[in-house]
Amino acid sequence: MNPEEILHYCLTRLEGTVLVESWGEKGIFYNPGNVLRRGVYVLTVKEKDGENDNASALDRPNVYRLNLGLRRPTFVRLFGTLPKRPAKGKIVAMDYDFSALDTLLPHPVYAWMGWVCVLNPSKGTFEALKPYISEAYAFAQEKFKKRKISV
């Protein structure tokens, strides 16, 4: 799989989503009718290291990271616990190789919020991620409704 295939999959199957490019990543946001300024994150694809996010070693040739925001109970079911929020510029205190390819991992910075990631998912891994993409989409829809009411 490549980033464009993943983004295309989401934009053509997740109704009400838009692509937003910023901060060196491409994000799929739930924002039907562009009601909110940016919408609500469903997932992102990050293709380069950032100053505060380099644990995945995205500076390697052709390496990217798919990031998904899941509900906290799902994250706990997958990884046992939610870690504490790391200090600025640090990663979460979890014993994982955040640079491993084609492996479902806690997000190195945002795991404390229930985010997971996979570096360079294969087609088989992407198939296994589809239920999590659906969950991230449904979770974004729930958050969107709450934000829309407060706008």
pLDDT digit string (tens) for the chain, length 151 residues? 999 999 999 999 999 999 999 877 999 999 999 999 889 999 999 999 988 899 999 999 999 999 999 999 999 999 999 999 999 999 999 999 999 999 999 999 999 999 999 999 999 999 999 999 999 999 999 999 988 766 5
**Residue 144, CB-side half-sphere exposure with 13 Å CA sphere:** 22
pLDDT at 23: 77
**Alpha helices in 31-122, H assignment, sequence order:** 72-79
- Residue 40's φ and ψ, nearest 5 degrees, are -120, 130
Considering only CA atoms, which of 123, 31, 9, 24 is closest in space to residue 64? 24
Decide: 14 and 28 in contact? Cβ < 8 Å.
yes
Q: Could you identify the residue written with the tokens 């990050």?
A: 46
pLDDT recorded at residue 61: 96
Does the pTM of the predicted model rise above 0.85?
yes
